[in-house]
Amino acid sequence: MPQSEPNELAAPEPTPVPVASAPEHPPALEIHGLTKRFGQKTAVDNLDLVVPAGSFYGLVGPNGAGKTTTLSMATGLLRPDAGEIRTHGVDVWRNLLEAKRLVGVLSDGVRLFDRLTGVQLVTYAGLLSGMDRDVVVERTADLLQLLDLENAGGTLVVDYSAGMTKKIALACAMIHAPRLLVLDEPFESVDPVSSANIRDILDGFVKSGGTVIVSSHAMDLVQRMCDHVAIIAQGRVLAAGTTDEVRAGSSLEDRFVELVGGRRHGEGPEWLRTLSNSAS
């Protein structure tokens, strides 16, 4: 386990990667022919995706596009029906343990052990990864400070607000200093200030050689924050590449709507527009 340097206020640094994204280094995440069916429904359909090491990668797509399913399979939570997934060259489903050490995960729609206090929960995540307790304690304090949760460290997570819960889950994902952070909807219901702080942390993480994958519905945010982006719909990748390539001159949101379709034109039904009959 990497020992954390006694930095005064820095995010746990990822295990050093010699020169980010040098060609001979395998991508942070490489997915080929990934498929997952739930009964009749094909959630992920022969999906290919390459996330270069050292990139800040945005994953966008409409509801039910298969983002969460893809990320679950990439992080060892859901067994694929077919396909290959590698993180930093490690085959995830052949070498689960090794792959898991490289990845930090924030899952959407998954419970936390919320009868623990914030400090206890992050400590628990660290200890489960096999880290030394002293290192865990030190990093937990750093993380809580970074995420503006210092005062909530002794509060049970069950009593947290939605945004605080997101942040403590993020701390759990980062405690073991992974090389790849996979974050499913990390900014949902997080306040603007905390959201900006989290972005700074993630930027710093990427600058120091780590890789971040975020899924989000907030197009503006992804366009500003991510250097790479993939648009996913119906279990397939519609477009992927650097953010500038994908948006091709227009805004990411317009490009997204153009690719995904389903935009309705008009101003809604007549009765919703008129204020005249709102009396009763």
Q: Please identify, using beta-carbon distances, which residue of 172 and 219 lies nearer to another protein.
A: 172
Q: Please identify, using beta-carbon distances, which residue of 125 and 233 lies nearer to another protein.
A: 125
Q: Please identify, using beta-carbon distances, which residue of 14 and 76 lies nearer to another protein.
A: 76
Q: Are 104 and 178 in contact (CB under 8 A)?
A: yes
Smallest separation, CB 255 to another protein (Å):
32
Smallest separation, CB 213 to another protein (Å):
14
Residue 201 dihedral angles phi and psi, to the nearest 5°:
-60, -45
Phi-psi region of 55 (alpha: psi -120 to 50; beta: other; left: phi over 0): beta
Q: Please identify, using beta-carbon distances, which residue of 31 and 103 lies nearer to another protein.
A: 103
- How far is it between the farthest Cα atoms of the chain? 69
Site residues, another protein (CB under 8 A)? 75-79, 96-97, 100-101, 103, 105, 107, 109-117, 119-120, 123-125, 127-130, 132-134, 136-137, 141, 151-156, 158-159, 172-173, 176
In angstroms, how far is CA 202 from the centroid of its own chain? 10
Smallest separation, CB 89 to another protein (Å):
17
CA dist 146 and 144 (Å) reads: 5
Smallest separation, CB 249 to another protein (Å):
39
Annotate 84-110 with three-state secondary structure: EEEECCEECCCCHHHHHHHEEEECCCC
Smallest separation, CB 99 to another protein (Å):
8
Smallest separation, CB 172 to another protein (Å):
7
Q: Please identify, using beta-carbon distances, which residue of 119 and 201 lies nearer to another protein.
A: 119
Q: Are 230 and 48 in contact (CB under 8 A)?
A: no
Q: Please identify, using beta-carbon distances, which residue of 82 and 158 lies nearer to another protein.
A: 158
Vertex 175 angle, CA 194 and 222, to 5°: 40
- CB neighbours (10 Å) of residue 149? 21
Residue 91 dihedral angles phi and psi, to the nearest 5°:
-70, 115
